[in-house]
Structure 1
Amino acid sequence: MPPTDASTDAGTAPATELATDTGPRSGPGSSSGTSTDSEDTLDLRLPDELIALFAGEAGTRGGATGDATAEAMGDASGGARGERRGMAENPAATPADDDLLDHVGGWGPTATPVGVFHLVPVRVERDLPLIARWMNDPAVAEFWELAGPESVAEEHLRLQLDGDGRSVPCLGVLDGAPMSYWEIYRADLDVLARHYPARPHDTGIHLLIGGVANRGRGLGSTLLRAVADHVLNKRPSCARVVAEPDLRNTPSVSAFLSAGFRFSAEVDLPDKRAALMVRDRALRDLL
C-alpha cells in the first residue's frame, strides 16, 4: 500500500518513499497475521454491517451463506487487486441512506502545520488524468501496480465509486492544490480483516504523495497524523485508524510512528509481510 514520506521524519528515506508503500497492492491475502498486542485481540465479533452484507447477498442470489461470504470477501487466491475488487463489486445490502464512512465528502478541511488540508472525493471526469499520471510514476507503480493507460486507473476508481461505499477514493488538497491520493476505507469490512483482530468501525487509509516536489520533506508524517485524527474526529464510532506498510520499508514504518501510530503486529499478506500500524483514539494525545 502507499508509503509515507519518511525522508525528513526518519532521516533515511529516499524522496520517493511516500509515493509507494501503503496502497492496494499490499491488500489482504491468504494467510493469517499474528498479533503481539493483547489489547488488539479482545473484540472478534463480526460487525453488524458485514453480517447484513452476507445475509443480503445470500438472499439475493438464493445461495448458501458460505457462497455469499466468498462473493463478498473476494477470491483470496486472486491477489490484492482481485480481492479489493471483490469487495467493491459486491452490491451493498445496506440502506441507501446508511453511509458506511460517515459522509467523507462532507468532512470539510482541517488545519495542519503545513497548511489547510482537504479530502475531496474523486470525480472521475475531473480527476482521472491527474491520478493516472501519478500511478505511472515508477516509484508509485512499483507498489500500486496501476500503471498503464488511463483505463487502468479508471477501473480501480470506479470499483470503489460504484461499490457500496466501504472505500472512498479522495484527492488530498493542500492549500487549494491537489497533491496526494487517499483511500479511506472500512478496514473491518475489508478482506484485510482476515489478517488481524478487527473491531467494528476500524478505518483504514491508503495514500500516495503525487508530485516529486512534495516528497522527501516530511509531508507524509504530518498529513498521516492530520488525516488519522480527522477520521477520528468525524467518525465517533471509530476507535482506531489502521494501515499496513511493507515491513521491509523501515522509513515508511518510521513515518507512521512519527505520525502517532503504534506498531501492533506483523501480518502476512499475499505479496509482502506487513507492519500493522494503529492509531488509537485513546492514545492519540500521548503519541
Structure 2
Amino acid sequence: MQGQPPHPPARSGRAGRSGGRAVRLCHRRQPAGQGLSGQSRASARSARPVRALREATVTAGAAPARGASRPGCVAPVGDISVWGPVDTPAGRFRLDPVRPERDLGLIAGWMNDPAVDAFWGLAGPVERTEEQLRRQLLGDGRSRPCLGLLGDRPMSYWEVYRADLDPLASHYPASPHDMGVHLLIGEAADRGRGVGAALLRAVTELILARTPRCARVVAEPDVRNGASIAAFRAAGYEKTGELELPDKRAALLVRRR
C-alpha cells in the first residue's frame, strides 16, 4: 500500500501551494539547496546543496525549535528522533529523520517505483525528490520527513505533519493540533502482508503519545488507492468522508485519541 501527500510537488507542490489559514510562524530563513544528487553522482556535484540541507536537518530536528515557546508562535512537530523504537507485529520499528546526504538516493529510488509513482508523482530525476525534502527541511518545522526502519533496515518513507497548518485544513473541518501522516512502503517484499497497517498503527500511537495536544491524526489517500485505505482502516482509522482536492479526490480518514 502506498499513502501519498495530498498534493504532490509534481503537480503544484505541497509546501508551495497557496491556501490554508494565515498563521504566525517563527522560524529562520535557510538558504535553499539545489542540484543535490544521489551517492553515485555525489563526487561530481557541489557539496553546497548537501551542506545546506544538512544544516536544515539539524535545525528541523531541534526540540523544541527556536521560537516555538514564544507567545503567538506555531509549535512545530518536534524532534522525532527522540520518539524511540516501538515493537510491532512486523518487528522493532523506529522513525529516523531524513538526512539528505545519506538518504536522498534511496528515497528517490523508491519514488521511481511505478507502484509508488502512481500516487506520489515524483518519478524522474533525483532533484524532484530533493525538492520534496527541501521544502520540509528548509521550512518552519510543520512537516518532518523520516525513514522508517524495521530493525536497522530502512524500508519506508514517512511525513509527519501538522494537518491544521497545512493547506489541507481548508478542505476539511480541521481542529487545532490535528496531525497528519503520509507514507510509502519502499520495498516490494514488505507490501501486501499487513506490514503497512501494523506500522501505521504504531506510528499513529507514537504521534498521539508524543504530541499530547493532538486529539486526531488524519490521512487523505486517493480514493483509488484501495490498499492504502484498507491499511489505514486496519490501523484504526475511520473514513469520515471524501474531499475534492486540487489534484485528486481523497478519502478523509481519521484516528481519534
Query: Is contact 1:117-1:175 (8 Å) kept?
Result: yes
Secondary structure of the residue aligned to 2:26 is coil
Q: Which residue is 2:4 aligned to? A: 23
Q: Establish whether residue 220 from structure 1 lines up as the match of residue 196 from structure 2.
A: yes
Pick the structure with more helix per residue: 1
Q: What does 1:96-107 correspond to in 2, within 5 Å?
A: 96-98=66-68, 99-107=75-83
Query: Is contact 1:92-1:163 (8 Å) kept?
Result: no
Secondary structure of the residue aligned to 2:213 is coil
Distance in 2, matches of 1:85 and 1:201, equals 21
Distance in 1, matches of 2:12 and 2:136, equals 12
Q: Establish whether residue 176 from structure 1 lines up as the match of residue 152 from structure 2.
A: yes
Q: Residues 211-262 of structure 1, C-alpha deviation per residue, up to 9 Å, x if partnerless?
A: 1111111101111111111100111010001001122333322221111001
Q: What does 1:191-270 correspond to in 2, within 5 Å?
A: 191-270=167-246
Q: Which residue is 1:85 aligned to? A: 16
Q: Residues 152-201 of structure 1, C-alpha deviation per residue, up to 9 Å, x if partnerless?
A: 11111011000001010000011111000000000000000011010111
2:95 to 119, 127, 146: 119
Change (3 A) 1:93 1:264: same
- Runs of 4 or more, structure 1, over 6 Å off, are none
Distance in 2, matches of 1:97 and 1:104, equals 18
Change (3 A) 1:225 1:81: farther
Secondary structure of the residue aligned to 1:148 is coil
Secondary structure of the residue aligned to 2:193 is coil
Distance in 2, matches of 1:82 and 1:231, equals 24
Q: Which residue is 1:44 aligned to? A: none
Query: Is contact 1:27-1:84 (8 Å) kept?
Result: no
Distance in 1, matches of 2:153 and 2:23, equals 34
1 or 2 for the larger relative contact order (CA 8 Å, sep ≥6)?
A: 1
Query: Is contact 2:95-2:148 (8 Å) kept?
Result: yes
Secondary structure of the residue aligned to 1:85 is coil
What letter matches 1:114 in structure 2?
Answer: A
1:152 to 128, 135, 142: 128
Q: Which residue is 1:65 aligned to? A: none
Change (3 A) 1:197 1:230: same
Change (3 A) 1:214 1:278: same
1:162 to 125, 138, 163: 138
Q: Residues 11-42 of structure 1, C-alpha deviation per residue, up to 9 Å, x if partnerless?
A: xxxxxxx1x3x222x339xxxxxxxxxxxxxx
Distance in 1, matches of 2:23 and 2:140, equals 6
Query: How big is the shift at 1:264?
Result: 1.1
For structure 1, list consecutive stretches of 5 or more residues without a partner in the other structure.
1-17, 29-77, 282-287
Distance in 1, matches of 2:78 and 2:14, equals 24
Query: Is contact 1:79-1:270 (8 Å) kept?
Result: no
Change (3 A) 1:198 1:111: same
Change (3 A) 1:109 1:264: same
Q: Which residue is 2:50 aligned to? A: none
Distance in 1, matches of 2:175 and 2:244, equals 19
Query: How big is the shift at 1:270?
Result: 1.5
Distance in 1, matches of 2:128 and 2:247, equals 20
Q: Which residue is 1:110 aligned to? A: 86
Distance in 2, matches of 1:235 and 1:208, equals 22
Query: Is contact 2:242-2:249 (8 Å) kept?
Result: yes
Distance in 2, matches of 1:194 and 1:277, equals 16
Query: Is contact 1:91-1:164 (8 Å) kept?
Result: no
Query: How big is the shift at 1:80?
Result: 5.3
The percent identity for this pair of structures is 56
For structure 2, list consecutive stretches of 5 or more residues without a partner in the other structure.
28-65, 69-74
